[in-house]
Amino acid sequence: MTISIWRYSHLTLAISSSVFILLAALTGIILAFEPILDQQKPYAIKNANTLSLSKTIENLKGEYDEVIHVEIDKNDFVIASVFTKEGKNETFYINPFTAEKIGDIIEKEPIFKFATNIHRSLFLKSTGRAIVGFVSFLLFLMAVTGLLLIIKRQGGIKRYFSKIIKEDFEQYYHIIIGRYTLIPLIIVTLSGVYLSLEKFSLLPSDKNVHILYEEALAKTSKLTIADFDLLKSITLNDIERVEFPFSDDVEDYFVLKLKDKEWYVNQYNGKIVSEKKDSLVALVSSWSMALHTGQGSTLWSIVLLFTCIAILFFTYSGFAMTLKRRNKSIKIKNKFSKDTAEYVILVGSETGSTFGFAKALYKALIAQGKSVFVSELNNYSSYRKAAHLVVFTSTYGDGEAPTNAKYFQKLMSHVSQQNTLQYSVVGFGSLAYKGFCKYAIVVDSLLQAHQKFIPNLLLHKINNQSFNAFKNWTELWSKSKGLSLKIEKPVKMGHSKKAKRFKVVYRSEINLDHSFLIELEPMQKEKFTSGDLLSVYPENDAIERLYSIGKINNNMLLSIKKHEFGICSNYFSELKENDIILADIKQNKGFHLPASAKEVIMVANGTGIAPFLGMINDKNHNQTKNYLFWGGRTKDSYQMYSEQIDKAFYNKTLSGLFLSFSKEESERKYVQNTLVEKEKLISRVLKNGGIIMICGSIAMQNGVLETLENISISRLDIPLNMNQIKTDCY
């Protein structure tokens, strides 16, 4: 069973019943207050377990002319219906220890009457009751499918309460709140269904009958109630209602309704004349009523209250998630069919974002006059004219295929391919998960093992839908195909037009590695921090470039590498002091210096150092011990950054600097090699819950992650905990 069966059932049920569910939840919230308020009233009897029924009856008989019945309601208030000495028939709350009246019966507040009417029958009598019962059943099914979705998503029932990775607000709290309220939700909906079935007499009828004990029937001389052994042994805690005999006739009995049975008791000798046990149906009814209404329990009423509030949140967050998913899933209208296209792009996507990238590539190829066909991995087929295959796939669940790729593996073994195709696989995933791009790895190996597919590029993995990383891949791929593609950022990814003005206050010389620093001063008040991104659209270019920001003296420091044909890097390299540029700041919360970590290791290569130059000079974090590992080509490459680093050492906001130079004859090494040399420091930071931040190229990131994994396993005996890793690589 795939996750989406449950998701579609969950969604269909939600859509078909949402209005009624909203009404039921809103009125449920109001009704949850009724038992809570009732419980605040001072009529509950304390120590009822110490007061025998015979004593209570005696007290009542002494106080009133005649007693008709006594009842202990769900709030543990004792109600007596009596004829007073003045001959008036009255019903009120009594103190059973004295039999005195302590209050009038509580009238149901109009708001509760109104809410009860909507909640039970929508003011539509039987039709309404039927609808409400049915919706309650749908809500029950939703709770069950929701439960299955969580189990599936978490990778098994044992991991039900394990950590949830936060993708976005609605998704995160839908699951967090869901896992705590699903059980009460199941109870409340099932009891609701049961009560509805009962109202429509659809439950099995009560087959239990009274069993007569003939010997107790005899009319003996009348004992006083104080001498009835049975009534002496029962306390008020045991009973729900006592009906008093109507006359002195021996065939008029005390009728005692206990929690699970009913007795008729001879008023002359106090013996049980007949007994009827409650049927299972009646017992479940009484439990359903108590569980559904919360009567008699403030604690359970509060649970019900929160469950109803949770239902409102589920309705909002469920629909918000669906709409977001819809917006992300970009439909592509193919100009060419599968058998006429030269390029085939197959997409595996659960929530739609990967389609945005496929569409960007599709458009770029079409603009070059190429014939392209895009489809889902589940539609894998034979392609008569195709010579190139590109697979874009995300990974879902616990390293599994997204829904629209579930059948790809099976199809691969059935479908025969006439042509030989060059292929390239791009994995879209998240480093927050254990199996980063695991399904893309599976697809890559399936294609590798297939005779008709020849690898074109190595598998490329993209973290958190990084557009820069995607662009890097398209550059490599188009070069390998002899193409020059102009890739536009998917529109749905938040193309920003809110450009602000920034003044250039400093631009360094371009060094031997073609890199330079540029410092920008916001011309209006701007909130940003090191690790955020500056989004720039160079003139006459619709493609966004993102640069990691280092915050220095409230200005932004960017480190940029000038590429020969790079429009944006060339544009920046020609800027002079006091020039004004237009750009926008994008928050990048996942790459901020953590507030709580005691130790942070920063790893960068090349221009990836920029955010760290800001972080090591951040006086707000002077409790954090920072260690910087940087990899560059030569010692000269480092000079540009030395001023900021010296300042951090001077201010004691940097505790260690470890440099690696890949082109320095005497000490040729990469940043990974230095990490191994310092594995004692790395493992200590990992062990003490510190954070490791990585910024720079994807190739460096992959090497660093592998090295960290090795260090963690060899020195700590545990796999690398990805929650301690933050990356911003491209």
Ligand X SMILES: Cc1cc2nc3c(=O)[nH]c(=O)nc-3n(C[C@H](O)[C@H](O)[C@H](O)COP(=O)(O)O)c2cc1C
- Residues found in the chain: 730
SS (H, E, C) 98-148: CCEEEEECCCCCHHHHHHHHHHHHCCCHHHHHHHHHHHHHHHHHHHHHHHH
Question: CB of 263 within 8 A of CB of 272?
Answer: yes
Q: Which of 288, 310, 291 is nearest to 300 (CA)?
A: 291
Cβ at position 5, least distance to ligand X in Å? 16
Beta carbons of 357 and 477 less than 8 angstroms apart:
no
Q: How far is the CB of 354 from ligand X (least distance, A)?
A: 3
Rounded CA-CA distance 384/344 in Å is 11
Place of tokens 């110490």: 50
Q: Who contacts 712 (Cβ-Cβ below 8 Å, separation ≥6)?
A: 683, 686, 718, 719, 720, 721
* Helix extents (H) in 41-103: 53-63
Closest CB 514 distance from ligand X, rounded Å: 32
Nearer to ligand X, 191 or 349 (CB): 349
Taking a C-beta distance cutoff of 8 angstroms, is the pair 269, 146 a contact?
no
Shortest distance in whole angstroms from residue 184 CB to ligand X: 24
For ligand X, the closer CB: 433 or 658: 433
Q: How far is the CB of 434 from ligand X (least distance, A)?
A: 7
Least separation in angstroms between residue 339's CB and ligand X is 26
Q: Whose Cβ is closer to ligand X: residue 433's or residue 571's?
A: 433
Least gap, CB of 11 to ligand X (angstroms): 16
* Shortest distance in whole angstroms from residue 349 CB to ligand X: 3
Question: Nearer Cβ to ligand X, position 422 or 430?
Answer: 430
User: 581-610 as b/e, with b when 16 or more CB fall inside 10 Å?
Assistant: bebbbeebeebbbeeebebbbbbbbbbbbb
Query: Among residues 213 and 433, whose Cβ is nearest to ligand X?
Result: 433
CB of residue 149 to ligand X, shortest distance in Å: 10
Q: Are 64 and 79 in contact (CB under 8 A)?
A: no
Measured from the CB atom, the residue of 324 and 481 that comes closer to ligand X is 324
- Least CB distance from residue 164 to ligand X, whole Å? 9
Q: Which two tokens stand for residue 508?
A: 């360094």
CA distances from 649 to 395, 613, 627, 646, 656 (A): 42, 12, 11, 5, 8
Fill in the amino acid letter for 402.
P
To ligand X, the closest distance from the beta carbon of 287 in angstroms equals 37
Taking the alpha carbons at both ends of the chain, their separation in whole angstroms is: 36
Residues 369, 412 contacting (CB under 8 angstroms): no
Radius of gyration, alpha carbons of the chain: 37
Minimum distance of ligand X from residue 500's CB (angstroms) = 29
Distance CA 569, CA 547 (A): 10
Question: 711: burial class by Cβ within 10 Å (0-12, 13-18, 19+)?
Answer: buried
- Contacting residues toward ligand X, per CB under 6 A: 153, 167, 349-354, 394-399, 402, 428-430, 433, 435-438, 465
Nearer to ligand X, 359 or 507 (CB): 359
Longest dimension (CA), the chain: 119
Closest distance of CB 97 from ligand X, Å = 60
Query: Nearest to ligand X by Cβ — which residue?
Result: 429
Q: Residue 262: beta bridge partners?
A: 257, 276
Which C-beta is closer to ligand X: that of 306 or that of 433? 433
- Decide whether 58 or 167 has the Cβ nearer to ligand X: 167
Nearer to ligand X, 188 or 431 (CB): 431
Q: Closer CB to ligand X, residue 440 or residue 558?
A: 440
Please report how the helices 467-480 and 353-367 are oriented relative to each other, as an axis angle in degrees rounded to 10: 40
The pair of three-digit structure tokens given for residue 634, joined into one six-digit string? 């030569």
Which is nearer to ligand X, 20 or 436 (by Cβ)?
436
* Helices 169-199, 298-328: crossing angle, 10 deg rounding: 120
**C-beta of 678: minimal distance to ligand X in Å?**
28
**Alpha-carbon span 330 to 328, nearest angstrom:** 6
Q: How far is the CB of 394 from ligand X (least distance, A)?
A: 3
Q: Which is nearer to ligand X, 94 or 405 (CB)?
A: 405
Q: 272-277 and 550-552: which strand pairing?
A: unpaired
Comparison of 336 and 428: residue with beta carbon closer to ligand X: 428
Q: What's the per-residue H, E or C state across 565-622?
A: CCHHHHHHHCCCCCCEEEEEEECCHHHCCCCCCCEEEEEEEHHHHHHHHHHCCCHHHC
Contact at 8 Å (CB) between 57 and 77?
no
Nearer to ligand X, 162 or 221 (CB): 162
Residue ranges of alpha helices (H) inside 465-553 are 467-480
Q: Which is nearer to ligand X, 373 or 396 (CB)?
A: 396
Minimum distance from CB of 393 to ligand X (Å)?
Answer: 8
Nearer CB in complex with ligand X: 304/462: 462
Q: How many CB atoms lie within 10 A of CB 64?
A: 19
**Which contiguous run of DSSP H or E holds residue 677?**
helix 671-677
Q: How far is the CB of 356 from ligand X (least distance, A)?
A: 8
> Reduced to 3 states, what is the DSSP secondary structure of residue 18?
helix
